[in-house]
Chain A
Amino acid sequence: MKRTLAVWFQNRFSAIPRITGLFSGRGFVLESICIGSETEDGLTRLTLTTRGDDSLIERIVKQLHRLIDVIQVVDLTGAPSVERELALIKVQSPNRTQREIVQLAEVFRGRIVDMGARSVTVEVTGRSDKIDAAIDRFKPFGVIEVSRTGTAALKRDEACEKAGRAVVVGMV
C-alpha cells in the first residue's frame, strides 16, 4: 500500500542523505521525495511516499525518529489530506497538432508554459494518478521529456482535530 509521510527536520549538515540513506540501507522503498526550503522556525518539511503494511510503516517511522535531526514524523495516509504533484511535460508538436495539445492540456487543467517550433511544454498539477493519466494521454503525440516533483501533502483542516493516523513515536 502506498503511504505518504511528512517529516520535519533540521536541515543541518548531511541531514538529507541521512534520511534517504535510511531507506536504501534498510531496504525500505522510497518512491518519491519532495523537500522544501527552511521555514522561519528553522525546520524543513519533507514529504515522501513509500510502500508497506502497517508494521513496516511503523518501523520506517521509528527509524526516521532515531535520526538526530528529525523532529517529527506524521503518517498522512489515512488522514484526509491534500496531495499534489507537479509535472512539466514537453510534447512534440509540429504546427498541425498544437491545437489538440492545448485542448488536451485544458482537460487536465494544465497550463502551457512554453511553446516552440517543434514542442509544447505543459504544466500539470494534481495527485500522482492524474499526472500518470496526463502523461499517458500526451504519449501519442510524442513525449520528449518529463520532469515530475514528488508528492507534497498537507492534512485537511478538519483532520487536524482528529489527527487521523498521525504517528508520533516516543509515546509508547
Chain B
Amino acid sequence: MNVKATPKAAAVSAAAAKSGAEILIQSLIDEGTDTIFGYPGGVLLGIYDVLYRTPELKHILVRHEQGAAHAADGYARVTGKPGVVLVTSGPGATNTVTGIATAYMDSVPLVVLTGQVSSTAIGQDAFQEADIVGITRPITKHSYLIRDVEKIQETIAEAFHIAATGRPGPVLIDLPVDVMRATGSYKPESCVSLPGYQPRDTGNPPQIEKAARLLSTAERPVIYAGGGVITAEASTELTLLARTLNAPVATTLLGLGAFPETDPLSLGMLGMHGQWTANTAVAECDVLLAVGARFDDRVTGRLDRFATKARVIHIDMDPASISKVITAHVPIVGHARPILSALLETVTPLNTSAWLSQIAAWKKEHPAITQPTDKRLSAPDVLRQVADIMGHDTIVATDVGQNQMFAAQYWGFTRPRTLLSSGGLGTMGYGLPAAIGAAIGRPDCPVVCITGDGGFQMNIQELATAVHYGLPVLIVLLNNGYLGMVRQWQDLFFDKRYAHTDLDPGNPDFIRLAESFGAWAKRVTMADQVRPVIEAALEVVDCPRVIEFVVSREENVMPMVPAGAATTDMLESELIKGVRS
C-alpha cells in the first residue's frame, strides 16, 4: 500500500466545509502545484472563481487548449514536477488530446483537469459534452471521473502520485460541474492507497550483480541511454559509470543531455538521424547496456540487424518495455538512479582503449554533414552559431522534422532537462507552447524554441501567450518554405515528387505577423547577419523574440537510415567523400 500524507495549510481546521471547486484548488496546492496552464469555459466558471481568489496559484492563459497541454508538458520536462492543465468540457477537453498523447508517448507527468457537464446530464449529449475519459483512455496512464465531492481530495492525491512515480505519464480527471458546486469536507490529511500500483524502484540485486559480471567481460561495451535516465535524475551516475567502464555512450533523442556531448566518450545520438559512429558502435559492440530506453523503431531500424553481436542488459522502470522488441539477456526493472549507483559500486574499470581508438577513427571519417542546395543559409550552420552564443544552460524546445533533427545533431547538449522534443508521437506544433512552459518552469534559464515554418504555424497563436506574460523565449524559425522532412523523403524515395509539401505560396510574412502579436522580430538572410541579429535579440528581455532564418530550401538531414533498413546502412552526404580523402 502506498501511503502518502500530504502537507496541509496549518490554518485549515479538520474537515472544513468547502465547495468542490475550493477543495480541488486546495488539493492542487497541497500537491505542490504553483502553476496551472488553462483556458476557461462554461462548466469551469466555479473553479475560475476560486482561482480569482487564489493569487498564489499562477494561472497561464493559453490561446488554445493544445497549447496548454504542451506548455504543461514543457513545464514538467524542465522541472520534473507534474504539469497541470485545466480546460473546459467538450471542445476544450478534446483539444488537449494531441498534447496528452505527446506526453504519454514520452512518459511526461501531467495532471489534466477537464470540466464536464453535470453528472446528471452525462450521456445525454448535453451542450459541450464529450466522453473525454473514453477518448483519452489509451493515451493516459490512468483517468478518473469524480462523481462525489468527498472523493476530490483523494483523487487529486492519487493522480499526482500516479503521474509522477514509476514510469511517469498523464493522468486525466473529469470534473462534473455539479460536483464542483457541491459542498464537501476538506480533511487535513489524505492518503493514497493503490494496491495495484507498486512501481519497483531499486533493481533486483542478483540481476545487478549479473549485469556487473557481464560488463566486466566486455571488450567493446556501449551504453545506450534514453529519456528514463533524465526522468530518474541519473545523469551523474550514468556519467560516472561510463567513465569507470571507459564505455562510449549513445543517447536517444529524449536522452540528449543525459550525458555531456562534449565528453570524449559521447557518441551523440543514435538511430535514424543519429551519428554514423553511434549506430556502427551499437552494431559492433559485445555488451549493450540500455538504460531508460525502449528500443524504439527510430532507434533500432531493422530489428534482425540491430546489435546482433551484443549481450543486452536492459534497465527500465517499465517491465512492459523490457524484451518488448529486443530480448534482454539481463533485464533489471527499476529506476535508473539506484540501479546505476549499485552498478557503480560493483563494476571494475575496463581497458577499452582499442575500442575507443576505433571509435575515434570512425568519428573522424563519418561526421554528420549536410549540403545546402542553394546560396541561402545552412540550417546546421545557423544552429551551431545560436548554440555557441546561448551556452550550455539554455533550454531548447524543438518542433518536429528537420528542425528537430538538426537541433539534435548540432546543438551539443550537455545537461539533463535542456532538450524538450516530441520524440514518440512526433507532434508538429509542440515547440512554441513547450518553450512557454519551460520559460515559466525555469525563469532562470534562457529558452530557445527551434522550429520550422510548418510547425510554427501549428500553434502560432501561443505567441500571444508569450507576449501576455512577457516571456523572453527566443524563437529560431528555420524557414525553408517546405514541410522539410516530408519533402526530404519525397526527394530520396519518391523521385522528388513534392506532393503538397511546399508551404511557400501561403506562408505569411513572419516578421510582420510576429510584430502584430507584440513580439520582437527580425529576418536573417545573410551568413554575416546571423551572429549580430542573435546578439541584438538577446538585448530584448521582456517579450518573445522571433528570428526568421531564411534557410536553404532543399538541404537534407544527413546521415539517415532509410525506413526499414539496418542502422548500419546509412545514407550520408555526398560531401563525406571529401572528409575521407
Q: Give every chain A residue within 8 A of B142 (Cβ-Cβ).
A: 68
Secondary structure call for the B interface: mixed
State whether B319 touches A172 (Cβ < 8 A): yes
State whether A68 touches B320 (Cβ < 8 A): no
A99 to B323, CA, bound (A): 58
A11 to B381, CA, bound (A): 57
A161 to B143, CA, bound (A): 37
Q: Does B194 contact A (CB under 8 A)?
A: yes
Q: Does A62 contact B (CB under 8 A)?
A: yes
Residue of A13, A17, A170 near B333 (CB, 8 A) is A170
Q: Does A67 contact B (CB under 8 A)?
A: yes
Q: Give every chain A residue within 8 A of B137 (Cβ-Cβ).
A: 14, 17-18, 21
State whether B134 touches A68 (Cβ < 8 A): no
- Output the least CB separation between B266 and chain A (Å): 30
State whether B197 touches A68 (Cβ < 8 A): yes
A25 to B318, CA, bound (A): 18
- Output the least CB separation between A69 and chain B (Å): 5
- Output the least CB separation between A73 and chain B (Å): 11
Q: Does B565 contact A (CB under 8 A)?
A: no
Residue of A17, A65, A68, A172 near B162 (CB, 8 A) is A68
State whether B197 touches A172 (Cβ < 8 A): no
- Name the residue of chain B whose CB is nearest to the CB of A10: B196
- Name the residue of chain A whose CB is nearest to the CB of B195: A71
Q: Give every chain A residue within 8 A of B333 (Cβ-Cβ).
A: 170, 172
Q: Does A130 contact B (CB under 8 A)?
A: no
Instruction: Give the interface residue-count category, chain B.
Output: 20 to 34
State whether A63 touches B144 (Cβ < 8 A): no
A9 to B195, CA, bound (A): 10
A9 to B323, CA, bound (A): 25
A-B residue pair count with CB separations less than 8 angstroms: 52
Q: Does B57 contact A (CB under 8 A)?
A: no
Q: Does B58 contact A (CB under 8 A)?
A: no
- Output the least CB separation between B281 and chain A (Å): 27
Q: Give every chain B residue within 8 A of A10 (Cβ-Cβ).
A: 195-196
Q: Does A95 contact B (CB under 8 A)?
A: no
Q: Does A33 contact B (CB under 8 A)?
A: no
Q: Give every chain A residue within 8 A of B195 (Cβ-Cβ).
A: 10, 71
* 0 or 1 for each of A42-68: is its CB under 8 Å from B? (1 = yes): 000000000000010011001101111
* 0 or 1 for each of B480-495: is its CB under 8 Å from A? (1 = yes): 0000000000000000
State whether A68 touches B141 (Cβ < 8 A): yes
A68 to B192, CA, bound (A): 13
- Output the least CB separation between A166 and chain B (Å): 16
Q: Give every chain A residue within 8 A of B143 (Cβ-Cβ).
A: 14
Given the contacts A68-B142, A172-B207, A14 and B133 also touching, CB distance less than 8 Å: yes
Given the contacts A14-B133, A14-B145, A17-B137, A169 and B319 also touching, CB distance less than 8 Å: yes
State whether A21 touches B162 (Cβ < 8 A): no
- Output the least CB separation between B156 and chain A (Å): 15
Given the contacts A21-B138, A172-B204, A59 and B145 also touching, CB distance less than 8 Å: no
Q: Does A70 contact B (CB under 8 A)?
A: yes
State whether A69 touches B196 (Cβ < 8 A): yes
- Name the residue of chain B whose CB is nearest to the CB of A42: B195
Q: Give every chain A residue within 8 A of B262 (Cβ-Cβ).
A: none
* 0 or 1 for each of A6-26: is its CB under 8 Å from B? (1 = yes): 000110011001100100010
Q: Give every chain A residue within 8 A of B319 (Cβ-Cβ).
A: 62, 65, 169-170, 172
- Name the residue of chain B whose CB is nearest to the CB of A18: B137
Q: Does B331 contact A (CB under 8 A)?
A: yes
A21 to B207, CA, bound (A): 33
Find residues 146-169 in chain A having any chain B CB closer than 8 Å to their own CB.
169
A70 to B194, CA, bound (A): 10
Find residues 81-137 in chain A having any chain B CB closer than 8 Å to their own CB.
none
- Output the least CB separation between B315 and chain A (Å): 11
Q: Does B305 contact A (CB under 8 A)?
A: no
State whether A70 touches B196 (Cβ < 8 A): yes
- Output the least CB separation between B444 and chain A (Å): 35
- Name the residue of chain A whose CB is nearest to the CB of B327: A55
Find residues 275-306 in chain B having any chain A CB closer than 8 Å to their own CB.
none
A58 to B138, CA, bound (A): 20
State whether B331 touches A67 (Cβ < 8 A): no
Given the contacts A17-B137, A21-B137, A25-B138, A65 and B144 also touching, CB distance less than 8 Å: no
State whether B204 touches A65 (Cβ < 8 A): no
- Output the least CB separation between B331 and chain A (Å): 5
Q: Give every chain B residue within 8 A of A71 (Cβ-Cβ).
A: 195-196
- Output the least CB separation between B136 and chain A (Å): 10
Q: Give every chain A residue within 8 A of B322 (Cβ-Cβ).
A: 172
Given the contacts A10-B196, A170-B319, A59 and B204 also touching, CB distance less than 8 Å: no
Most chain A CB inside 10 Å of its own CB: which residue of B134, B195, B196: B196
- Output the least CB separation between B440 and chain A (Å): 29
Q: Give every chain B residue within 8 A of A58 (Cβ-Cβ).
A: 323
Q: Give every chain A residue within 8 A of B323 (Cβ-Cβ).
A: 55, 58
Q: Does B213 contact A (CB under 8 A)?
A: no
Q: Give every chain B residue within 8 A of A9 (Cβ-Cβ).
A: 196
State whether B198 touches A170 (Cβ < 8 A): yes
Q: Does B324 contact A (CB under 8 A)?
A: yes
- Name the residue of chain B whose CB is nearest to the CB of A62: B320
Q: Give every chain A residue within 8 A of B197 (Cβ-Cβ).
A: 68
Q: Does B200 contact A (CB under 8 A)?
A: yes
- Name the residue of chain A whose CB is nearest to the CB of B318: A66
Given contacts A55-B323, A170-B198, A170-B333, could you give 20 more A-B pairs where the C-beta distance is less than 8 Å?
A10-B195, A14-B133, A17-B134, A18-B137, A21-B137, A25-B138, A62-B320, A65-B320, A67-B196, A68-B141, A68-B142, A68-B162, A68-B197, A70-B196, A71-B195, A169-B319, A170-B200, A170-B319, A172-B319, A172-B333
Task: Name the 8 nearest CB pairs between A and B, nearest first.
Answer: A62-B320, A68-B142, A25-B138, A71-B196, A68-B197, A172-B333, A172-B331, A62-B319
**Residues in B lying within 8 Å of A, measured CB to CB:** 133-134, 137-138, 141-145, 162, 194-198, 200, 204, 207, 318-320, 322-324, 331-333
Q: Mind listing 11 A-B residue pairs with CB under 8 Å?
A: A14-B137, A21-B137, A21-B138, A59-B320, A59-B324, A62-B319, A62-B320, A65-B320, A68-B141, A172-B204, A172-B322
